[in-house]
Structures are given as C-alpha cells and as structure tokens.
Structure 1
C-alpha cells in the first residue's frame, strides 16, 4: 500500500526521489515525505498530507543547504494514526540522527512504545513505525555501526516491514525486509531500494528482491548484505510503460490497453494449451478439486476460472475470501489457486502461509518476482504489464485469460477434455482481442448516452446468470470504487428472494446478458417495477458487445462497458478515477 524509495546517486538524490514517489503514488497517497542529506551534512525532512505536487513545491521552496546525493522517501496509506503531517514518513528518533520510512505493521508497537517511553524516549507521532527509530537509537549507543544497530533492533519486532534508514552523521542507508516487498538495484546512476520496480524502472536493468530477514546497506559499490545476496532478476518494465501517453487518466489508458494485453498474453500461452504443456511445465501433481483463494477483483476473476473448471472438467471448485480463510477444511488432492495482481496481498499471503499438506499452491499474479510467486509451489504470470489505476482493468482481463488457458491445459493433461475441443477453445481465445477491441469502440459510443441519466442515481443493481454472474460482480465493484455509490450484484434468480425490494421507479439495473434462457424473465420482473435497465449483451441490447455463442469463460467483453460506465460516472461526479478514496493498489496489510 505505502511506497518506499531510497537512493545513493551520482547527482542530487531529490530528483530521483520525487520521480520515484510520483510513480509510487498509486500505492498510497494520504501523505508523502522525503529525508535528504544536504551538502553541509544535515538532513532536510519535508512532509505533506497532499499529493506529490505539494511535496515538489516544498522542495522548491526549501531555503536550507543544497540537497546532496543520499535520501529516502515515502508515500503513505494510513493504517496506524490519522492522516497528518506528524504521522507522515520519514520518522526520526529523539536525536534526529535517524530518518526512517516503513511499510508494514509492527504488531507489538504498543508494548514497545510503552517501554521506550518509560526509558525516556519522546514520541512525536501515533504511528507504529516510529518505535523502530527509537530502537535503533538505543542500539547505536551499544554499537556505532548502523547496519549492526538495525539488525539488533529488528529482533525486538513482531510483524512485517520493509524499511529504509538514513543516518545523518554518516549518510549511510540500510534497508531491510520481512513479509513486505522491497528490492535493491545497482545502476550506472546510483544505488536504489524500492517497494515496487515501477518506481525505479527508468534507471534499472537488473534488481534483487530481498528475502524475509534480509538487511542490506546501499553502498557506492552496490549493496552489502547480511548473509547471501539475493538472486538477480531482469527488469522488463520500462518507465514509459507507466506514462499517461496523452490520456487524461490512467484508467482510460489501461482500458484501451486491454485488447493488446490480451493478444500478447494469448500469443505466449496458446501453444501450450491443447497439448497440456502449459500445465505440465509447472511440475504440479494432478488435482481432483480446485480451491480459489483471492480478494476483490482477483476473486471475481477466480470465480470465472473456477466455473470453467466445473463446467468443462466436472471437478468441484470452491471460492475462499482470503481474509476469511482461517479454519477452512481442505480435502486431499486439492489445488489452491491463489490470485493476487501484485503478489503482495497480505490476506492472500497469510492464507498461503497456513496451507495444509493436502494442497498444492499455484500463484496467478502480475508480478513474477512477488512474495506470492516465491512462496507458491508454482506460478503463472498474467503478464498485463504495469497498471497504475487503483481500480483494476487489464489485470482482471489478463487474469481470466491466463487462468482459463491454464485450466484448459490442465484438463487436457488429465484427460478431462479432448485435445480437439481444447483447440476449439484456443481459437476462441485468439478471437478475444478483436472482440475486446470492438467492445471498446461500441461502449465508448453507447455509454455516454446513459451516463447523464444515471448520474443522480443513489444506487445500482448488477445481475446475471451462470457465467455472467462474476462479471456482474466485477461491474458492481468497479462502480462502487469510482463513484462512491452503492452497487450490488446478484444472481438474477435471487432478486425475488429479497433484493427485489430495492427496485423502484428509475432504479438502474445493469444486466450482463450471456443469453441464458431464464434471464429474460428476470429482466421482465425488474422492468415491471420501473427499473431503468441497461442491458449489456448481444445485438439489440442497450450496449451490444457480447458475441455468441458465449465461450467457456463467459462474456469477457461485457466487462469493458462496465469499466467505461464506472469511469464515466466517476468523472461526471467529480472524482479522481485513478485514485479512489480510501483504497490502494497493493494491499500489503491485513
């Protein structure tokens, strides 16, 4: 959620810090701050509760010594303590020698704060991160070496952390990670540590992902580590991947990128579907049942994938909200499909950590270097590329495609479906990019016709049947995220069992029409009660984007008009569609 950047560079560090923080802003944006060593050896600490633009203004207005080549920065999404300047990172110790930025949760922070206060330490914030500063301050009295002091301080902590510590007197930076992502990179322009590769992709060709327990110092010759250095990984994302490129917001750009992202992914996986190779290459044991473990949009994608396994393969599939996974009974020969866009979703990681020997874990993520990918028995990337908008768009589409391709391959490998049938599904997949592109064109023309009529609606119902239900769920989620209006989804047959009471004259009802025969009767029920029906389906619908026959993964094209509808309404209501309130892209706390 929060974002970290630390650097030791050849030219002034502030330029790199501000650029990186701008790229990290989507992860957390309640506040932001930097601590930068100046040429006279002091540290300038600047913080704001506004966006990165306000921090840039504070830097421009700085009247102190010239900024030097060492610094740390942070964007915060509040978990402990209110949104205020004193709670913004970087935090410091009593002496002012330590400036620290931290992602994660210190679970024993209250006990540590009580003990540190009793021993004479003064706290200036209400956040858990500040206790680490004072622990390091005490350890520096025992050992003058910053690396050793940080190592010793971490022994007292319970919880998760990715942190960077800047020492004023020496200009040294030490970083550490446990159950929270952090990577380090040595580049021609300097040394970096960051919580997300997108922050530093402009300058990086290779990087190292820190393992749990790693403590590393950024040095002019690279990085010095406590223990063995993590393995190098290549950076495949470039800074221009996260540029607006002429769009007014990232969501518009990422909606338009979906056909190309789908085509790229299908080209990568298509050759291994009908022969079972995509599954066989993962080296996992055959499974007799599927358990989907995910949150939010990823859970909606998981429902699509699980429904496909049930309908094509006749295998049972269950769906677990990751935050509620404790106590789940897992039967033998279960494959756990753990889905997370970032691969750092704390609820998913916690559930995977407590898995049983009865299940294999397969990660489906957009980040092959993530914690989830490393902890799973195998992983498959959905290869969507960088996604900056908080509300997921192309990652959902790519999760569905990657998951469907893999499950069809697995069902071929265990003789649940014939290779000839699988080849037909591959042909269907290859048609998807054109179908998504056509859906974009049609939706951009049709959605504005209904947006004005819907802008005053207090709430929305989304409904579908069968393979359309997960798409109705995703459409409702998008509308909630971007408009701050209530929106609920239901299997259409459930309306008469209670939710029909919500329908009155003018109530917007978005119907995902996958040509399920019983759906027409449900549409008639809401129409008779005065609902304003927006039907997303075949020719003749309000928004005619769904092709027939519907593929085993359901009407994937339907998600695009619902994304455009949510964005259009959000903009009409004056909201920032890239950064919806109270939400963050990578949810790294439970």
Structure 2
C-alpha cells in the first residue's frame, strides 16, 4: 500500500529518495511527495497526484542535488481525498518538521481535537497529520529527534511506520508498530524504507525494525532504541536474490511480461523445492511437527492469496484425506478453532494487515503457523512458527499473476513433502502427483502458446459485455474464482464465479443471449449438464481445460484428470483475457484504480 523511503548522506538525498520511491510504485498509490533538507539548512517540499515521475522536474528546479536528508512517500488514500494538500510528507506548524506515515491512527479525531485546542494549525484531512504536531510538541530544546518521536507515538492507537525529518538539524528518525520499516547502510549513506525492494540494488543487507523500535540517523551515525530498552541494533538480513530479479519482455506493461514469466517462475520453485519432497526433507526443514500429529489444515488469506490457499488445501484434502478449510482473513476472528490445526497464512508481501490481525486472534494452545510469503523478512514471516519463501521475485503489476503461480506451487511442494512422511497416500498416486508437479512449467508454457491468439480475439468479441460468469467444479472452482477476480481488478466489469452445480439455484438468472461464461474443466463429467444449461439460454461458453479429440470429424470431449490442486495452467488464459480486455478498454493494467499491492490497513 503506501510506500516510505528516506535517505541521509552527503549529497543528492532527494534524488536517491525519489529513485527508491519509484521502486515502490508497484504497491499502488494515488499521490506522492518528497521533503528534503539542503546543505545550507533550507528545505524543499514537493507533492503531486500525477505520479512519482512528475516529482523530478520540481525537485531539480529546487536544488535536489544539494540535499543531504530526504523523506519520500507514495500514498493510497484512506482518510481524506486524493489531493496534493493531503499528500505526504506532512509538515508541522513551523515548517521545520516533516513526517511520512503508513498505517491507520484509530484515535486521530480525539488527538486532533486536543491539538487544535493547544493551538496547532491543521492543513490536511488525513489522520497522519496528528503525528507531526505531536512530534512538534515533543521536540523540546536539547532533545534528539528519536527521543521526541518515541514520545510522540505514545498516545497513538492503531498501526504505523513513521519516518520524520528535522530540517534544522538534518536528522532522520523512524519507528514502527504493526507496519513494516527497514534500515540499511549503503556505504555512501543510510536508508529507511517500508520495503527492502526499494533499496535492494544499493545495499547488501538490512535490519528490520520490530514493534516500537526507534532509530535516529544524524551526524553521529545510527542510534537504535529497542522496545526492550536495549540500544543494540537488530541483526542483519541479507538481501534476497529474488528481490533483484526484474521482469522483462516484449510487452510495454509489466503485467504482460509477468504473465509470460510464469513458466520460468514455476521452474525456479520446483527446482528449489521438489528435491526435498519424496524424502520429507522439505517438511522437516521447516521445523514443523510431523503431519501425523496434525488433524486439520486451515489456509488463511485475502484475494488472490486466498485462492492460492484453496488450491493448496486441495493437496492436503483430496490427496491426503485431511480435513481442510479456507478462511478469509478479515473474517477469521469469528472462527472456532480445532486443536492440532496447521494454519498456513499466505500473503505476497507478508505485511497484509488482515492476515496479521487474524494471527493475533489465534488460540495460544492451537497448532503451528506456517507463513507462505514472497518476503522472508516480513512481519508475517517473523510472527509465524515456520516460513517458506514463494520465490516469485518482484511483481510490479498490482493484480497478482506470477505470485499466484508461485504461491500455489510452493504450498503444494510443502504439502506433498509433509504427506510423504505419513501413510496417508497410495505410492502410485503420489508418484502421479509428482509427475504432474514437474510437468507444470511445460503446461504453463503450452497454455501461453495455445491460448494467446484466442484470448486476444475473445477480448475483441466481448469488449461490450457488461458482465461475465466463471464456473467450475472440484479442483477447477478455485481457478474460476481467480479468473473472475482478475477480470474485476483489471477491466472494472462485474464478474462472478460460481460452483457450476449452483447455476440452477439462482445464478442462471444472470445468463442471457450472448452472456460470456468461462468454464474451468477439471474433468468432472457433470459439467456437461451445466454447460448445456448455459447454452440453452444463449450464453457463450468458453471452455478451458478439457482435452478434445476428433472422431469422424466431430469433437469428442474427454475428461481432464488433473492433480489434487486442480488444473493450475487454466489460470493463464484467464489472466491473458483479463489483461487483453482491460487494454482494449484503455485501463492501466499495472495500476488498476482503487487497488494497492501491499494492503497494510484492515
């Protein structure tokens, strides 16, 4: 969601903060800004609603190269409209202090009233502005910026990652509580950022702020105040090699290149994890208890990650005959948890607020938590009992594509490895599952090759359709759900997924002459009746996943028997269709409206 960058060094601080900010654009945002201190003690402050690139001209015109400390921010609006006035960084009454903030201040209205009564002047509608005025009060003569920030956050309720700039001294200070913030020394200067990806090319390692840690960067270097009272900095994390990978290809948009990259991502995951499946080494290496000691599996996620979890649950349930359930993280607080339940918490960023809040509500005497994330140093990874990196590499497009593939395959590898240590699975069936797994990169590549022209043509045919229906049964249902979600995210047209057997219980009323209906075929013979119901009412069926032979010149549809996690390759044409339709409708496929990549508010 919102992105934070900050830099302190001998020169060009504002430019370095802007470059780092560009690497956070993938999160999605609607305004951006930078505040900096020049070497002569003067400040500059630039904000925009037109994108990070539009900051370059004003920064250069105002002496960007002469700056020695800077903070930057990309904002995804929660409190207050999308205006330049509401964009971060936000300044205090005097123009000396600036702050950037990710998260939500839940008691902002109460604090605002108190600060107004004390004589402070507010210039924005955002909850974050209370922070800079609290900091203004706390920064008394002789007090360091870090100590003042520690005092300023005491009355806050909610979540925050905050970086403050004192333009008089040139000091930076940062703190975090329920929202990510990292520190890194680049040799030629010091960085703070909400995501290591912002600074990965410039550093070798980084440190993660735990809740209520405070760091101060000034002329004396780094000062670290830990929540436990220690002044010792946290341990270093190496920059993951996948953070340096970038998707390139023939498309002008990132999403098109990331769709094309999926066979390579699948190969990376399988090459890394498959050798540890058959002997259970992958499962044991995670430090999880034996699967024979686990009675239930629950997958926890939001959006695309929840769909990936449902596919992973198929491996435990259909192959291992284990009771499973899939939980929407924002609703998990209402669940009654069985003992001896393995919770697989899935988040691409590892910072999804709904996931983190759901983990806080788990019973203490429950089972272990496995984090499946694309960020092994994230808040989710640090709070779980075990973590596995899904190895997708950076994904710039806000709507997930290659991270979905990576999540499913990573989770399936873990599931198969765990099941290999039990007597739950027939050896012949297990061998068949392994063959299907290792064939996945080729299946994805074939789907790209086979479906590309068809989906381009269908996007043209269906460009005027007001809505779409996605159907599936069994293992195909989760891919119908993901296809509908992609179409909604990218095209802004309504799209609904349904179990095909539910058509006659209500959703069939949506089908009219010409209604596009995508059917994900996992080999269930009952789909033939469902398709007939749609066709009889004039719906246009696009069937994905079946095998077709021609006998006597007539098409003969054969059942497609896929693995326990369903026909993963069917998601590829659905992604391509959503992108093609969105491009035809002149949508920004990399940055869909109203959406963010890392949703750090709940």
- TM superposition score normalised by structure 2: 0.94
Q: Is the 8 A contact 2:313 2:565 kept in 1?
A: no
Q: Distance in 2 between matches of 1:186 and 1:5?
A: 13
Q: Distance in 2 between matches of 1:4 and 1:23?
A: 11
Q: Distance in 2 between matches of 1:474 and 1:159?
A: 31
1:206 maps to which residue? Answer: 205
- Deviation sequence 1:483-509 (CA, Å, 0-9, x none): 000000001010110000000000000
Q: Distance in 1 between matches of 2:302 and 2:64?
A: 47
Q: Is the 8 A contact 2:298 2:343 kept in 1?
A: yes
Residue 7 of structure 1 deviates from its aligned partner by 0.3
1:55 maps to which residue? Answer: 55
Q: Is the 8 A contact 1:36 1:67 kept in 2?
A: no
Q: What are the within-5 Å matches in structure 2 for residues 559-574 of structure 1?
A: 559-574=571-586
Q: Distance in 2 between matches of 1:349 and 1:535?
A: 38
1:216 maps to which residue? Answer: 215
Q: Distance in 1 between matches of 2:392 and 2:53?
A: 28
Q: Distance in 2 between matches of 1:462 and 1:44?
A: 51
Q: Quick check: 1:102 aligned with 2:101?
A: yes
Residue 233 of structure 1 deviates from its aligned partner by 0.7
Q: Is the 8 A contact 2:244 2:393 kept in 1?
A: no
Tell me, what secondary structure is at the counterpart of 1:247?
A: coil
Residue 398 of structure 1 deviates from its aligned partner by 0.9
Q: Quick check: 1:359 aligned with 2:371?
A: no
Q: Quick check: 1:583 aligned with 2:583?
A: no
Q: Distance in 1 between matches of 2:91 and 2:386?
A: 41
Q: Distance in 1 between matches of 2:246 and 2:323?
A: 39
2:157 maps to which residue? Answer: 158
**Number of residue pairs matched by the alignment:** 587
Q: Is the 8 A contact 1:513 1:519 kept in 2?
A: yes
Q: Distance in 2 between matches of 1:65 and 1:312?
A: 59
Q: Quick check: 1:312 aligned with 2:319?
A: yes
- Deviation sequence 1:457-498 (CA, Å, 0-9, x none): 000000011100000000000000000000000010101100
- Deviation sequence 1:325-345 (CA, Å, 0-9, x none): 112100111111111111100
Residue 61 of structure 1 deviates from its aligned partner by 3.9
- Deviation sequence 1:189-248 (CA, Å, 0-9, x none): 311011111111120111111111110012467522003311101112477624655530
Q: Is the 8 A contact 1:546 1:558 kept in 2?
A: no
CA gap of 1:320–1:328, structure 2 versus 1, over 3 A, is same
Q: Distance in 1 between matches of 2:474 and 2:446?
A: 24
Q: Distance in 2 between matches of 1:290 and 1:144?
A: 52
Q: Quick check: 1:83 aligned with 2:82?
A: yes
Q: Distance in 2 between matches of 1:476 and 1:163?
A: 36
Q: Distance in 1 between matches of 2:141 and 2:150?
A: 12
- TM superposition score normalised by structure 1: 0.96
1:417 maps to which residue? Answer: 425
1:300 paired residue among 294, 307, 314: 307
Q: Is the 8 A contact 1:510 1:535 kept in 2?
A: yes
Q: Is the 8 A contact 1:297 1:474 kept in 2?
A: yes
Q: Is the 8 A contact 2:521 2:545 kept in 1?
A: yes
Residue 540 of structure 1 deviates from its aligned partner by 3.8
1:427 maps to which residue? Answer: 435
Greater shift, 328-337 or 237-246, is seen at 237-246
Structure 1 runs (4+) greater than 6 angstroms displaced: 544-547
CA gap of 1:419–1:378, structure 2 versus 1, over 3 A, is farther
Q: Which runs of 5+ in 2 are unaligned?
A: 550-555
CA gap of 1:132–1:224, structure 2 versus 1, over 3 A, is same
Q: Distance in 2 between matches of 1:537 and 1:496?
A: 23
Q: Is the 8 A contact 2:545 2:560 kept in 1?
A: no
1:248 maps to which residue? Answer: 252
Q: Distance in 2 between matches of 1:343 and 1:278?
A: 21
Residue 142 of structure 1 deviates from its aligned partner by 6.2
Q: Distance in 2 between matches of 1:316 and 1:160?
A: 35
1:123 maps to which residue? Answer: 122
2:501 paired residue among 493, 512, 517: 493
Q: Distance in 2 between matches of 1:275 and 1:239?
A: 30
Q: Distance in 2 between matches of 1:446 and 1:323?
A: 37
Q: Distance in 1 between matches of 2:306 and 2:356?
A: 14
Greater shift, 271-280 or 517-526, is seen at 271-280
Q: Distance in 2 between matches of 1:231 and 1:545?
A: 58
Tell me, what secondary structure is at the counterpart of 1:326?
A: helix
Q: Is the 8 A contact 2:371 2:381 kept in 1?
A: yes
